[in-house]
Amino acid sequence: MKILLKVGGILVMPIEDQLTQILRTGQNTWESKNILAVSFAPLVQPNRNDNGKHDTVGLPPCAVRNLQDLARIYIRRTLRNFINEEMKAKGIAQKAPPKRKRRRCRRRRINTYVFVGNQLIPQPPDSEEDERMEDDSKEEEDKDHSEALKPEEPPRNLLREKIMSLPLPESLKAYLTYYREK
């Protein structure tokens, strides 16, 4: 191994339970230096079944996309980039996809009842804050209900429009749009 080094080259390797650094100083001269003590052990002990065969490790199946899917992804990416560049050139700001509206957790008003003898008597709310929370929750429900009734116009899908305007066979257009209807 030392002979393979260039003059000035360094070789680090274990020799007799020592990690050794060897520096080639000349054509036929070397300097050796022990760096630290090391010990080695096998990484995996071989197990044998009853039949004397080695245990095999099952690897997960390799899932590779087919060429048709890769072509569809690439075509869609290219068209999407083209549309984005057109939008930037026209100065139209790109809209981020709408996020789902997160519903606030409503505090539930706890009705308090007191047992007096054999009777169950309801207690009035402790404070005005409880009454305000109740009113607010009713207003939110009304807003949610009214928003749900408004018909929303679906956003324009520019990528779909671009694909449909291309001079391609209908079957390829359907494939590029993942066979989705509007």
Residues 159, 182: Cα–Cα separation, whole Å: 12
Tokens of 23: 């520096």
Domain segments of the chain as ranges: 1-39
Residues 34, 30: Cα–Cα separation, whole Å: 13
- pLDDT tens-digit readout, 49-63: 556 566 677 788 888
The angle, 0 to 180 degrees and rounded to 10, between the axes of the packed helices 158-165 and 67-90 is: 110
- Looking from the CA of 100 toward its CB, the CA atoms found within 13 Å total 3
- pLDDT tens-digit readout, 98-155: 666 666 666 666 666 666 777 767 766 555 555 666 666 666 666 655 555 556 666 7
Which whole-number Å values give the CA distances from 152 to 129, 147, 149, 155, in the listed order? 35, 9, 9, 9
- Ranges of H-type helices in 91-112: none
- pLDDT tens-digit readout, 20-75: 999 999 999 999 999 998 887 777 666 665 565 666 777 888 888 888 888 888 99
